[in-house]
Amino acid sequence: MSLNDLEFAYAPVRDQVRDLLKMTKTQRTGFILILLSCGISILSGYIMQRSMPLGMLDFKGLYYNTRCLLLHLDPYKTGEPLRVYLAENRNGSQPPIVIQRVLTWNVYPPTAFILTAPFAVLPCEPSYLLWILLTAGSYTIAAFLLWRFAARYSPKLSLLLICIVLTNCQSTYIFGNPAGFVVSLCIIAAYCFLTDRYVPVGILCLAIGLAVKPHDSGLVWFYFLLAGGVFRKRALQALIVFFVLVAPMILWVTCVAPHWIQELRFNLLVTCMDESFLASGICLNTVTSIFWHDSHVYNSISNLILGSLLLIWSVRTLRSRLSQRGALLALAAIVPLEMILTYHHDHDAKLILLAIPACVMLWSEGGPIRWLALSATTAGIAITAEIPNSLYLVLINSLHLSTTTLSGQMLNAVLTRINPLVLLAMSCFYMWVYLRREATSTERQHMLPLDEKG
């Protein structure tokens, strides 16, 4: 192949990269503000991490799980990562109980090693710094791409909402949870699919997100699968890449730990039995558990509520014609629902960024619904933001609420479990808009070009 042939083949890629790097004055200002917002979270999070005994909590779990694998030890055997940690940190002191618990029971699937293996080769401290820098970089890229997409509706409002989210990501940098990577990869994938640009990058990002934290990106992938047309093609391509990427990881883990499936199941069971661990999450069963103490009852009620909403959303998606407007509303409805469907923390809830384009789209259309959209989205962002949420928890912890009466239980649920309730309300609002609004002439003007190809 001649040089001219190579240049012709890669010309589209080169043009897209140039277009991405070429920014207007408004875009440069937005990029700087996004960068500053990330910088605030990084600096404050890193300072708090250095002063907290539980700093790097999630990252240490990932790091020493992977170190076990590199040392040809079973990372799912109870206490094995803890023994590796103690062997490599011979300072004579025992780690805090929470760190011991994280290092005792590994709850990450073997597919997650595809992300963590390169970091575990380095010493822990440099590896953590690299992890934080790459997390911040991925957040910045994802947020900027999302803003470029949402700016067509309202550049100022979308930038404000995005910057609020990015300024409140301290827990991601304190604990080093991989949610920072997964949220960013999921947003990048959604941007690539919605705009039909950098599609191979989007497929790879979604595949890696599914490998590391499938309960974060699973329903986003499920939307593209149900939506049909070219979106279904992209979802299936991401699934194929997922299997190609994770097959070597699963084979590697199976060779080192042939009983990893049973061990992982046991670790998940032990973790789920820890009530304090589950109470710190934002899933809906933390609300229903206030009214019913039997786990079978409160889990069933929670699953019934969320399962019904998911079924309605799925049927609507299957019957909808593929459009950009419909895609934005569908994602805005499913993202908060995904956060309360299974165990999640506030750092996972940063996926709520995907609801911002739908919010500013409704805002740009005017009418009373614009205020409902802004209120629902702002409430979802605020209640999962680290700074206001921390202040709220300090206030709530000073109250002594009774749970012996129905009124006390209801007050307790509203005050102490406000996160899942607000996310449920946000999901219901966007579900309502998604269900009642058929394609209008405005929507047809914004039909995805992929729809015609698909």
Calculate the average pLDDT of the chain. 85
Q: pLDDT per residue over 31-65, tens digit each?
A: 999 999 999 998 988 888 777 777 788 899 999 99
Q: Is residue 12 part of a domain?
A: no
Q: Is residue 1 part of a domain?
A: no
Can you give the pLDDT at residue 91? 67
Give the whole-angstrom CA distance, residue 322 versus residue 203. 19
As a whole-number percent, the residues of the chain with pLDDT over 90 amount to 55
CA angle at residue 192 from 189 to 196, to 5 degrees? Answer: 145
Residue 353 pLDDT greater than 90, yes or no:
yes
Residue 279 pLDDT greater than 70, yes or no:
no
Can you give the pLDDT at residue 443? 44
Q: Is residue 11 part of a domain?
A: no
Q: pLDDT per residue over 89-140, tens digit each?
A: 876 567 778 888 888 888 899 999 999 999 999 998 899 999 999 999 999 9
Can you give the pLDDT at residue 447? 43
Tally of domains in the chain: 1
Q: For residues 210 and 217, is the Cβ–Cβ distance under 8 A?
A: yes
- Average pLDDT for residues 378-401, to the nearest whole number? 80
Token readout for 285 is 């069963």
Can you give the pLDDT at residue 449? 45
Q: Is residue 15 part of a domain?
A: no
pTM confidence score? 0.88
Q: Is residue 18 part of a domain?
A: no
Residue 439 pLDDT greater than 70, yes or no:
no
Give the whole-angstrom CA distance, residue 165 versus residue 123. 31
From the list 354, 376, 373, the residue with the least C-alpha distance to 365 is 373
Whole domain around residue 373: which residue ranges?
Answer: 25-453
Can you give the pLDDT at residue 93? 66
Q: Is residue 449 part of a domain?
A: yes
Q: Is residue 10 part of a domain?
A: no
Residues recorded for the chain: 454
Q: For residues 225 and 238, is the Cβ–Cβ distance under 8 A?
A: no
Give the whole-angstrom CA distance, residue 45 versus residue 37. 12
